[in-house]
Structure 1
Amino acid sequence: MSIVKEFLLLKRDLGGLVILFIMPLVLVITVTLIQDSTFKAVSENKIQILLVDNDKGSVSKTVFDNLEKSQLFTVVTQIDGKPITEEVARENVYKGKFQLAIVIPKNLSTDLQAKIDQNVENIVSKMGFSDTIAKPETSKIIQQKEVKLYFDPAVQLSFKSSVMSSIDKMISQIETKSIYTTFQNQLGEENTKFEQKSFITFKEIIPKVNNKEVLPNSVQHNVPAWTLFAIFFIVIPLSINIVKEKSQGTFVRLLTNPVSNLVVIIGKTVTYSAICMIQFYMMVAVAIFLFPHIGLPSLNVEGHLFLMSVVALFSGFAAIGFGILLGTIASTQEQSAPFGATSVIILAAIGGVWVPVFAMPKIMQLIAKSSPMNWALEAFYDVLLRNVSFLEIIPKISLLFLFFIITTCIALFYDKKKRTV
């Protein structure tokens, strides 16, 4: 009957119940759609960049060709049919119309070749070939060249670092090629061929399951994260209902029955656990059946659904324990509702739902380990992305259940002390 009572309370607030189910679905669809592009090949959504070519030489042509061939950028050299100047590029980038402008300085190709010729001639002369090689008439001092990069002030630091690294690697390859060619010309070996490909390369080893590569996507990251957010949001209706029972005298009438307070707590736990599991299965169903129809990857739960359900159940326990504690301590709905919403957002923020924990400062990484959302999220990732067994997620779900036990015991102890004073 305690369970029936809880369902009746929920039934009387159909609007809140609808929000409890619809809000997470809208949230997971919206966020996944927004973030999906970061998990796709960049070639599907190339970034337009401005290229100001003041060099008009071989180096600038090579830079242009490499940028065009890359899967990152689309090169723009004219605006309104006119060649782009540095001033125009700077103005467009700083106004946010383009994310990046590259300005190649004058005489870059000729000065680069001249500097390489000087260096090669010095090396060759020291090797004892000075008699056969014509020395330069004058030792020209060549100034260092700068390739200027203008970034939109709103772009992220990670984007800047990635672009600068790519440009630096490109220029280094051009210099290396020029050095090899100059040595070849100086030594008079026109038919000599140098291997110019990088000797050291990088290869990502992707984990495989049943001989298939496991590639993470936006759905695998977002569905667990926002499912947890939805599960913990039951803190609000649960705490509000507990406060209502106290303010309306229902709780006092319950205490007059020959049952312990623990029975009432169990009734709430069973009811809201069912709500949490319904939320979880709705989110999974949307990720499996709806996402492919709106251009998103489908969530692959093959072989994972049982363990995911276990994680969702224990996550629900943690949320219920927190809601019971909050409802017991709060005196009014004005206290429980705002505090519940704010605390859930804070737990989500420090738990890695919005920003990955590894990207946080060191102090925040330590604090994140205290968030039950972080324990649950890591358990979901273990199941979906790391393909672990049930034994390997026991420590995390045990922490979630321990959190439920501790918060519930504190709530019972607080309520008993408050009523006996």
Structure 2
Amino acid sequence: MLYKFWMTVKKELLLLQRDFGGLVILFVMPLVLIITITLIQNSAFKSLSENKIPILLVDYDNGSISKTVKDNLNKNGSFSIVSKIHGIKLNETSAKEAVFKGEYQLAIIIPEKLSVDLQTKVDQNVNKILSGFGVTDSANTIKNGDVIGQKEVRLYFDPATQMTFKNAVKSAIDKMISQIETQSIYKTFQDQLGESNNPIFDQKSFIAFKEIVPTVNNKEILPNSVQHNVPAWSLFAIFFIVVPLSINIVKEKGQGTQIRLITNPVPYAILIAGKTATYLLICLIQFLLMVAVGVYIFPFLDLPVLDVSGKIMLMMNVAFFSGLAAIGFGILLGTVAKTHEQSAPFGATSVVILAAIGGVWVPVFAMPKVMQYVSHISPMNWGLNAFYDVLLRNGSILEILPEIIFLLLFFITTITIAILYDKKKRAV
């Protein structure tokens, strides 16, 4: 029985060896894919963090607020302020046209008398409060009759600008304006109370934010793009084994090889075991090559190194059971499909769909609620969560055990269906 198993494995290896183009796709293309995707993502991040984004600023205020806005934008380091185009000073109309044409991503319009009107409004509110305590005199309530309308700082965005960039900019400017208003209120209270030389208000933020990250041996675990890309695209490469595996099974049926194998005294389970062992070996080699690229090649490309110290065996376990799930799906597809035209397009498309809903391309938390529930049916999602547990959450075998069980059950289910379908088809 063992001899028959090894002969089946040898047959599969010979078939793969003769298909040089298939071997290139199985081993080289995933490496090219992971390097390309990671370089693009890393370059995009650097372009946002190192290159300043030019933004148009139209200042109709020319007061303390507009000066503070300019100072904060300059200190931010991500933006460069543009107030003239081709030597001509900007106004709201020209700035809007330039942004809507896609020449700039953002224009900020600061309205007239913003600083003066803000101070007037603050004076009114402070006087109203202090007068209730009998602190102010009648001279301080002269401005209370003026009605100050709400002011708008208008933002124009390029229609092609991503929503995440819009929300980040709006949040930053809103925070900036709120701080200016708060400081104006503090300062007015101090002036009214005659404490200008000795500030009575501590204007430093009382509440601060501090990120607590997991640590191992007193060393912080800081996630990076490599820790996301290597497991995600390794899974994609592992599941892409579905395509050549299903095509080979269909080819055996079309050439009559399967009939000759079945007529021999070899159980069908042995044939499936031989295919499983062969393609599982390929999956593990794929995974190890991807990890090797993350550990040894990425540092030479100015990318973060993949830290797998103490984690490689757990990652191998995840890759092993992910490979089983992919092989089970490939065998089922090859058993059911009747032609290459059925197996190849359906296999490739289904792998892409499983990757999309599994969180390989877009994080699951960023999907609509319905798709977040759907993602749980994708075996790629199970494998990806297990890899994240190991790499990013410092999980143990117990943490990844549920995902491993799901992957194993998926393999058993698909193989069982394939065997029953083949048995029924041959019995007809």
Q: TM-score, normalised by structure 2?
A: 0.95
Q: Which residue of 1 aligns with 2:243?
A: 236
Does residue 379 of structure 1 match 2:379?
A: no
Distance 1:214 1:72 in 2: 26
Q: Which runs of 5+ in 1 are unaligned?
A: none
2:86 to 60, 80, 98: 80
Question: Which of 104, 108, 119 pairs up with 1:113?
Answer: 119
SS in 1 for 2:80: strand
Q: Please tell me whether residue 103 in structure 1 is matched to residue 75 in structure 2.
A: no
Match among 405, 408, 422 for residue 415 of structure 1? 422
The structure-2 alpha-carbon separation of the partners of 1:258 and 1:190, relative to structure 1 and needing over 3 Å to count, comes to: same
Report the Cα offset of residue 215 of structure 1: 0.8
2:221 to 183, 197, 214: 214
In structure 2, distance between residues paired with 1:162 and 1:41? 16
Backbone CA RMSD of aligned residues: 1.6
Query: Is contact 2:120–2:143 with CA below 8 Å preserved after alignment?
Result: no
Say if 2:170 is the partner of 1:164: yes
Cα deviations across residues 85-119 of structure 1 (Å, max 9, x unaligned)?
A: 22222122222222211111111111111111122
Q: Tell me the equivalent position of 2:274.
A: 267
Amino acid at match of 1:112: L
Aligned counterpart for 2:25 among listed residues 6, 11, 19: 19
Q: Does residue 332 of structure 1 match 2:348?
A: no
One-letter code aligned to 1:169: K
The SS at the match of 1:69 is helix
CA contact (8 A) 1:39 1:218 kept: no
Q: Distance in 2 between matches of 1:26 and 1:87?
A: 47
Which range moved further: 178-187 or 340-349?
A: 178-187
Deviations 1:309-336 (A, max 9, x none): 1111111100000000000000000000
Give yes or no for the alignment of 1:346 onto 2:356.
no
> For structure 2, which runs of at least 5 residues remain unmatched after alignment?
1-6
For residue 292 of structure 1, report the CA deviation from its aligned partner: 1.2
3-state DSSP of counterpart to 1:135: helix
Change (3 A) 1:414 1:191: same
Shift of 1:364: 1.0
Q: Percent identity?
A: 67
Question: Which amino acid in the other structure matches residue 155 of structure 1?
Answer: T
Q: Which whole-Å CA distance do the structure 1 matches of 2:392 and 2:275 have between them? A: 33
Q: 2:130 aligns with which of 106, 124, 140?
A: 124
User: Which residue of 40, 43, 46 maps to 2:52?
Assistant: 46
Q: Between 41-50 and 193-202, report the one with greater CA deviation.
A: 41-50
> Match of 2:401, as an amino acid?
I
* Distance of 1:263 and 1:374 partners within structure 2: 30
Q: CA separation of 1:213/1:45 partners in 2, compared to 1, >3 Å: closer, same or farther?
A: farther
Is the 1:227–1:283 Cα contact (8 Å) retained in structure 2? yes
Shift of 1:155: 2.0
Deviation at 1:188, TM superposition (A): 2.0
1:44 positional shift: 2.3
- Mark the CA change 1:127 to 1:38 in structure 2 (over 3 Å): closer, same or farther: farther
> How many residue pairs end up in the alignment?
421
1:140 maps onto 2:156 in alignment: no
Cα deviation, 1:350-391, whole Å, max 9, x if unaligned, reads 100011111111111111111100000000000100111112
- Give the TM-score of the pair, scaled to structure 1: 0.96
Q: Name the CA distance, whole Å, in 2 between partners of 1:138 and 1:362.
A: 50
- 1:31-63 CA deviation, whole Å, 9 max, x = no partner? 112222576695424332221111111100000
Give, in whole Å, the separation in 2 of the partners of 1:356 and 1:137. 54
Cα distance in 1, alignment partners of residues 233 and 285 from structure 2: 14
